[in-house]
Amino acid sequence: MINKNIVKFKSTPYLVKCKDSSTIDFLFIYPVKYNKKYLFYLSLMKQILLTTSFDYQTEEKYKKRYQKLMIIDESMYTKRLNNNLYIEFTLTVPNPNKISNYNLEEAFSFFVKTIYNPNVANSKFNEEVFEREKCYLKEKNLYNMKNVYAKSYQSFLNIVDDNGILKDNIYNNMDLIDTATPEGLYEVYHHLIQENNPIIIVYGNVDKKINNLITKYVHRNNKRIMVKKDYYHFLKPYEKVRVVEEKSKYNQSILYVAYKIKKIKREDQLYIVLIKNILGVGANSLIFKTLRVENGLVYSAKTWCNIYAGLLVVEAYIDKKSKKKVISKVENIINRLKDKKFLKTQIERILKDMKLDLIREQDNKRKHLVDFLSEKFDYGYNLETLIDFYSNMDFELLIDFIKRLKLDTIYFLEGEFDEKEKNI
């Protein structure tokens, strides 16, 4: 019997071939179980690993070497899905077949050393570099929180999420940064990276020979990698709609209208994505058409969802006097979707768009990589899956889902701008 809660990965690299690509991507992905203490350490790790190493102990030396090796990009990215965390390092370099005298091996070895030979001595990261990056991170977070969009988003998360899964982020845990130490960072790094076995993916016009390069520089055990999937943490709807309003000195007013799902089940995630797509993509979307084209209530509005939390959100940038009208229009749209005939037209509309997007996607050379990751790690959906699902839609189940959509949270950050008042 297949256990759908376990994702298995082979110990040898996955080669994802794209013969037209002018670049080669090496991805090292470390699966980890989430722990709150990693919040700041992961951000610090990213800052330090990608700017210094044991061989190049200052940013000046590190970046000079990086440039000399003609590296196109080197990044570290963390994807958190409830209790699962994937730490992904990527190296993008030119394909040596396209560039004369390109030394792929030197670039790859630099990348491996970036990950495995950091600026560490006596089981702690270099103190000077650590303190600098800690200071940078603190300042950056404070800086970001002055931005109206970041500020309103954080406030919204704190209101919509009583359990703290969504709001469990660095902005709400600023005190943790002061407890971070170079020794603590090393301990976390050693556990998450050095003691861990990465899933390796190579993307581009490559063949099996690339394995020799990987084997030469990366020493891993031959065990298959098993990840226990714990991606979901559905937010429970509040008994009564939670309404929070705040005044601010910004010009902009921002409104969040959030829906949660009663009696949510995992199968609902495809429906959440469907409703999000009907409501919120492009000029022909229901939200844009209703709020801007037909009623002139917004300049811009978008719909987004979090399938792992069971959350569907309309976010609108509005004039402060339009709040009530916008909420009522959003509610009307959701209610209209309960009408099968109307719903059918909407699905046909987005299906048509998606089929053409599928053709457009062929011009995007990274599509194969994105699709490979979402399939292998079992997160997100590619266009083909969505088209197949929407084409064979069971309308009874869909309408049952829409009936379970419950208006849950309204957050309004009121700005000062009023379009009728001049000279503001």
Partner 1 sequence: MKKKKIYKLKNGPQIVLYKDTSKHCTIASLFVMFGGKNKKIKIGNKNYKIPDGMAHFLEHLLIEHSIYGNILLEFENKSTKSNGYTTKDTTEYVINSVIDFEEDLVKLIHIVNLPSFNKKDVEETKKAIKKEKMMSKDENFEALEKLDYQTLFSTIEYPNILGEINDIDHIDYSNIKFSYDTFYQKENQILIVAGNFNIGKIEKIIKNTYDSIKKEKKLYQLPRLEEPQKIVYQEKNITRNVHMDYVRINYKIDIKNISDKDRLKLDFYLFYFLSYLFDSSSKTYNRLVKNKTCVYGINYSYQKTEDFFIIKIGTTTNNHNEFIQNVKRVIEKKETNQEDFELRKRQTIIAIILREDSFSATITPFIQNIISYNYYDMDKIEDIENFTFDDYKNWIEFLDFNNYSITKMLREKEDEINE
In the complex, the residues that contact partner 1 under the rule CB under 8 A are 20-23, 51, 58-60, 62-64, 66-68, 70, 72, 94, 98-99, 132, 135-136, 139-140, 142-143, 145-146, 148, 249-252, 282-284, 289, 292-293, 296, 298-300, 317-319, 352-353, 356-357, 359-360, 362-365, 415, 417, 419, 422-424
**Cβ 345 to partner 1 shortest distance, Å:** 12
Separation of alpha carbons 216 and 59, rounded Å: 27
Of residues 199 and 202, the one with the C-beta less far from partner 1: 202
User: Which are the contacts of 345, defined by CB distance < 8 A and separation ≥ 6?
Assistant: none
Of residues 143 and 342, the one with the C-beta less far from partner 1: 143
**Cβ 137 to partner 1 shortest distance, Å:** 10
Of residues 146 and 209, the one with the C-beta less far from partner 1: 146
Of residues 190 and 367, the one with the C-beta less far from partner 1: 367
**Cβ 359 to partner 1 shortest distance, Å:** 5
Of residues 342 and 395, the one with the C-beta less far from partner 1: 342
**Cβ 299 to partner 1 shortest distance, Å:** 3
The residues with which 94 forms a beta bridge, in sequence order, are: 23
**Cβ 318 to partner 1 shortest distance, Å:** 8
**Cβ 208 to partner 1 shortest distance, Å:** 23
CB atoms inside a 10 Å sphere around CB 290 = 20
Of residues 9 and 66, the one with the C-beta less far from partner 1: 66
**Cβ 404 to partner 1 shortest distance, Å:** 29
Of residues 6 and 142, the one with the C-beta less far from partner 1: 142
Give residue 378's region: left, alpha or beta (phi > 0; psi -120 to 50). left
Of residues 162 and 294, the one with the C-beta less far from partner 1: 294
**Cβ 64 to partner 1 shortest distance, Å:** 5
Of residues 265 and 352, the one with the C-beta less far from partner 1: 352
**Cβ 24 to partner 1 shortest distance, Å:** 12
